Structure 1
Amino acid sequence: MAVIWAKHALLPAGWSDSVRVEVGADGRITNVEIAAAPAGEQVGLLLPAMVNLHSHTFQRAMAGLSEARGPQPRDTFWTWRQIMYRFLDHLTPDDVEAIATLAQMEMLEAGFATNVEFHYLHHRPGGAHYDNIAETSERIAAAAARTGIGLTLLPAHYQFGGVDRRPLGPGQQRFGTTPDEFVTLLDAAEAALRHLPPDAGIGVAPHSLRAVSPEALALCESLRPGRPLHIHLAEQIPEVDEVQAARGRRPVEWLLDNFSPDPRWTLIHLTHMTEDETRRLAATGAVAGLCPITESNLGDGIFNGTIWRDAGGRLGFGSDSNIRISLIEELRTLEYSQRLRDTGRAIFAETGRSTGRALYDAGLDGGATAAGRETGAIATGLWADLCAVSLDNAVLFGRKGDERLDSLIFAGGDGLVRDVWAAGRHIVRDGRHSDHDRIVADYLACIGRLQEVM
């Protein structure tokens, strides 16, 4: 049994002092005691660690490579996508593993305990299959074995180049699967998780309404009942227009009219919804998978956060392109986007619950659901996914109650997270992953090779 004692901790009932948390050998919390004497590992502020509900780890290696103006008169998501296609043509399975390992390490050091990996880079450049169809999925699992992060792996089905069922374009060949191939891939990817600790899990990711047929979406929905199902939805205006032209309805409207989203579903981005779509989708209990840093970087748009919240919608946070991996900045960017649009302040705050607290609580709930993981609170029976934050600094010293989260999110930066546990595995100590230096060295060697061939 491991023991963690916190001066202050965020429990399901609210803030408590002198909290003792006991963790069993299986990685689950076995007991939580308030007003306990100091013992074991002693920390200042203990929080439930959040799930990173949406990531494409391979994109971490192209961070900063798409900020120059291209040949088009206006740079958009679609011009960025062409850069991404050219970049991934050079990635080997070894590169995929090295990049994923670095990204997962950075997630842990930022305070995330779980990586939900929306994984669609399956094949060789040009589209030929590896001998093992789950080769790159196994590399994501190998990265998780090394970093110790909790993993929910979402192999992605990517069938077509557009809603009109046109063939995949040259840059998309590495993603493509027929429905039968996807079933094989999913089975093989799930088998790869058997080598990981028992908190690892599988899910299903039909890439988008652009990339899968209605029949294939129904197949995906049937494949792993009860496990997470994620799909990109309504991210870009041209995407909305393409779906509406082909199917007679906007993406969210079409999904609601043809399927029955529920808490199993996580809809990624949702940056272009009408008010009616927002309210209808929020009422289903599906999770909005928000990636505010990436959405800002790509110029996606602004999520209807206030309407979603008022309709009882659930949400969580992901790092998507991994251009910058920062839990607190994801939350801050969402709130600031709403303030800029609405010319107001403290948009997500509620009576009795501050902005930072409301955002953090929402992310815990939505992230746990999106990962299909028993987490999201410091409570008996859940995985011990925990994050300790230092109080002896200019940001948090002397803060009380919700002020701690407000200060962390709106005044904090890198380095405040001191310790992270994922299913009881104490991976980050004093702000650094236990294998930090070697992981960085392997990543630098990978980037050095890529610089030579690109």
Structure 2
Amino acid sequence: MQVTYWLEHAWLDPEVEPGVVVEVSQDGRIADVRTGADTPPPGATVLRGLTVPGLANAHSHAFHRALRSTVQVGSGTFWTWREVMYSVADRLTPDTYHALARAVYAEMALAGITTVGEFHYLHHAPGGTPYDDPNAMGEALIAAAAEAGIRITLLDTAYVSSAIGDKHSGKEPDRHQLRFSDGTTEAWAERATLLKDRDHARIGAAVHSVRAVPADQLGTVAEWAGTRGAPLHVHLSEQTAENEACLAAHGCTPTRLLADHGVLGPNTTGVHNTHLTDEDIALLGGSRTGTCMCPTTERDLADGIGPAVALQKEGSPLSLGSDSHAVIDLFEEARAMELNERLRTRTRGHWTAAALLRAATADGHAALGWTDAGRIERGALADLTTVALDSVRTAGPLPRLGAETAVFAASAADVRHTVVGGRHVVRDGQHELVGDVAGALTAAIGALRG
């Protein structure tokens, strides 16, 4: 049975069109798109406001949501923040992680996010002992996404050392990091191979960083992803200390090290890409390696502003992530990328609103291996996000400026509807599956704090 939606206004990249009919087939894909429909056809579900393709959150650490506010006490650095993060990680089990992730992914659905890229490195029990199911933590995340009604790319992450060592080894993981580590990337690959795609889930890979994977083991992760055609992500040059350690150990930047070991390429995304040389930018762009910017986390941790404009000009596609979930709002991530660049350069207009929405939709989905999502067109997955155009933030501008309104005025609180595979997940600002998301977050985080 087909489902019909009537979109009061729709962003059909790059223009906003009024009165758009979207027919959804039984397989959850868009069967037809018709413009010029002044009134809803009989039986259609009406989505008032501006409808855009479902948003893709290309970089998430679900358990970091438990850090919100807690890490705003006092000052410190990324490295002191990391100690607080470890203390939360130490308390997670498959059951408590499932409860937390289910609530976090429901919060994402309320924000219009239909697909998340979960950069997953919390694999084992404290001390590094595997659970009876060695992928119990990853399976908890996959189940949580299904129950929250969104899609997930589980980026199973290789993490086997605590810091850069010599050319052939890293330093042993510390006591917190033991549960992240499989010992070697060969053992990581053996475990990751047990994970399987599902209708709502795809399996990818990640190199946590050049700190966490020794140089002579990088190729194992790249080969695993390449053989499967899976997306491969990596934290890259987030901190100047990472660059300095890599130069000291290998005589090159992290980007050059990844290039020399076959990690870069069109299925790879570098996350942050903050502290890059001109040569790094050329290597990333020339190889069509993507860039995932996470502006709200990068500013929260005082990491710096990455060269997103230069990267895109060189050929690196841009996507967006909420990373540590200081906030979960892809419109804010898109807006922040432009506004950060304005502060840095003291000029305006580095990206159009359409280009920023593209990073949050089609290009974000592509970075996560969902090349059939992120567009409102025939054959694409029927994932839709509707933003109110009559809230105190969005009222006033002409509907044809809907893209500009969404990016530069709206917030996650303005999302009225989220549709995934043709199914209403959020209706009139209420989550249809989880219900009281704030209560679920409070309970899940409270259980971790004891």
Q: TM-score range by the shorter chain?
A: over 0.9
Alignment of 1:5-404 (within 5 A): 5-12=6-13, 14-36=15-37, 37-39=39-41, 40-43=44-47, 44-69=49-74, 75-164=76-165, 165-177=170-182, 178-190=184-196, 193-194=197-198, 198-224=199-225, 225-259=228-262, 261-348=264-351, 355-373=352-370, 374-400=372-398, 403-404=401-402
- How far off its partner does 1:167 sit? 0.4
- How far off its partner does 1:298 sit? 0.8
> In structure 2, do the counterparts of structure 1 residues 257 and 185 end up closer, same or farther at CA, with 3 Å as the change threshold?
closer
Q: What is the TM-score with the length of structure 1 in the denominator?
A: 0.92
> In structure 2, do the counterparts of structure 1 residues 107 and 446 end up closer, same or farther at CA, with 3 Å as the change threshold?
closer
Identity score, percent? 37
> In structure 2, do the counterparts of structure 1 residues 118 and 396 end up closer, same or farther at CA, with 3 Å as the change threshold?
same
- How far off its partner does 1:187 sit? 2.4
Moved more, 409-418 or 102-111: 409-418
- How far off its partner does 1:439 sit? 4.6
User: Structure 2 CA distance, aligned partners of 1:449 and 1:399?
Assistant: 44
- How far off its partner does 1:13 sit? 5.7
Superposed CA offset, 1:48-71 (max 9, x none): 11211010101111111112236x
Aligned-partner residue type, residue 313 of structure 2: D
> In structure 2, do the counterparts of structure 1 residues 362 and 447 end up closer, same or farther at CA, with 3 Å as the change threshold?
closer
Superposed CA offset, 1:112-157 (max 9, x none): 1101111111111121111111010111011012111011111111
Superposed CA offset, 1:81-139 (max 9, x none): 11111221112222111111111111111111101111111111121111111010111
**8 A contact 1:278–1:307 mirrored in 2:** yes
Is the aligned partner of 1:406 residue 2:404? yes
- How far off its partner does 1:438 sit? 4.7
User: Structure 2 CA distance, aligned partners of 1:277 and 1:119?
Assistant: 26
Aligned-partner residue type, residue 167 of structure 1: E
User: Structure 2 CA distance, aligned partners of 1:64 and 1:275?
Assistant: 36
User: Structure 2 CA distance, aligned partners of 1:449 and 1:114?
Assistant: 26
Aligned-partner residue type, residue 325 of structure 2: N
User: Structure 2 CA distance, aligned partners of 1:410 and 1:169?
Assistant: 43
**8 A contact 1:155–1:185 mirrored in 2:** no
Aligned length: 437
**8 A contact 1:122–1:175 mirrored in 2:** yes
Q: CA RMSD in A?
A: 1.8
Aligned-partner residue type, residue 442 of structure 2: L
**8 A contact 1:52–1:116 mirrored in 2:** yes
**8 A contact 1:107–1:325 mirrored in 2:** yes
Aligned-partner residue type, residue 85 of structure 2: M
> In structure 2, do the counterparts of structure 1 residues 141 and 258 end up closer, same or farther at CA, with 3 Å as the change threshold?
closer
SS at match of 1:123: coil
- How far off its partner does 1:163 sit? 1.6
User: Structure 1 CA distance, aligned partners of 2:63 and 2:263?
Assistant: 32
> In structure 2, do the counterparts of structure 1 residues 256 and 402 end up closer, same or farther at CA, with 3 Å as the change threshold?
farther
Aligned-partner residue type, residue 57 of structure 2: N
Aligned to 1:352: none
**8 A contact 1:28–1:424 mirrored in 2:** yes
SS at match of 1:103: helix
- How far off its partner does 1:401 sit? 6.1
User: Structure 2 CA distance, aligned partners of 1:280 and 1:307?
Assistant: 12
Aligned to 1:351: none
Moved more, 401-410 or 147-156: 401-410
SS at match of 1:345: coil
User: Structure 2 CA distance, aligned partners of 1:369 and 1:176?
Assistant: 28
User: Structure 2 CA distance, aligned partners of 1:229 and 1:365?
Assistant: 17
SS at match of 1:203: strand
